[in-house]
Each structure stands twice: as C-alpha cells, then as structure tokens.
Amino acid sequence: MSKIGIGFLCCTVVVVSLLVAEHRAVATPAFSKEFVKVYVDPVKDATDPDEKAFYLAAKAKTGKCWICHVNMTSEGEKGLGKKIRNNYGRALSEFLDKENYSSKRRKAEPEKVSAEIRDAFKKVGAMKSDPNNPDSPTFDELIASGKLPGDNLPNPEDLKKAIADRDSKK
C-alpha cells in the first residue's frame, strides 16, 4: 500500500473515532434508564387505562428518547440529532448537567448518580408543564393521565443553536 493510501486510512480511522466519541459524549443513558426505572417499569403490568397508555407511549418508537427531545427529522430538519429538547427535557436540564454523568462517574458512584437523577425527576414532576399557564398540569399529572411529559415542541434556543452548529460544519 502506498504512503498516501496509508495516510488516508489513518486519517479516516481518526475521523471516525472522533465522530463515535462525540456521539457517545452526547448520550445520557443514565437519565433514560432511570426514567424507565422510576416511571415506566412500575406500570409494566398495569390494568389501569392511563397507566397502560403511558407504558405503551413510553415504550413506543416515538417514546424513549423523545420523552425529553424532539424528533426534528420528522419535522423536516435533518442532522440535528437529539440536540433539541422539549419542555420536559429543558426543565430537567435545569437540574441535571449531562457533563456530570460520565460513564466513569456512573460506575464509581451508581447510587449517588441514581439519587441525583431521581431528585431531579421529583422536582421537575412537580413543575407546571407550561410555566406561563397556571392551569396547566404538572409533568407528573401528565404522566398519571397516560401521556408522555414532553410537549414535542422544540425549544427555540436549542433549535437555533443546533441549526447553527449543523450549518457551520457544512
């Protein structure tokens, strides 16, 4: 193999490695796993229609990540990944910073990490889903009524930043 071919191969490996590492850094599996433990698993075998509806919504393809994020691909925007949060994800971000929940910390302090995430769920659950409307249900009330807590509306700040980031890489 020529020196140019080897150089190209090495560069390709480095770029792919960086992209994979960047993708991993964005993910917050601890939040998702804890949400399932707190809210979804307890209603797995529920017979109550609202609990069953919530369980099915949370386990559906349109649930899962979209509990906190907005699927912008379905909105016609590609290349934004899971950078756009809905109202529930935005509220959680007031109490949880994904940078504090690295895999290293999750392995070293699993009970502490779990307790912090559950505490954030409790705080956010008590919040109004629309802070500008005092008659809006809390996030926990939405869950109890069989609905996912997020409103599926992109946070304007997140959307603007994500589009700028995506477009700067073109």
Dist. CA 165–CA 148, nearest whole Å: 28
pLDDT of residue 62: 76
Q: What is the pLDDT of residues 141-155, one digit of tens each?
A: 999 999 999 998 998
Q: Per-residue pLDDT for 15 more than 70?
A: no
Q: Per-residue pLDDT for 6 more than 80?
A: no
- Model pTM above 0.85: no
Q: What is the pLDDT of residues 105-118, one digit of tens each?
A: 999 999 999 999 99
Dist. CA 164–CA 170, nearest whole Å: 10
pLDDT of residue 47: 94
Look at residue 24 and give its three-state secondary structure. Answer: helix
Provide the 10 A C-beta neighbour count for residue 86. 23
Cβ(28)–Cβ(106) below 8 Å? no
Amino acid at site 62? T
Q: What is the largest CA-CA distance in the chain?
A: 70
Radius of gyration of the chain from Cα atoms? 19
Q: What is the pLDDT of residues 87-106, one digit of tens each?
A: 999 999 999 998 999 999 99
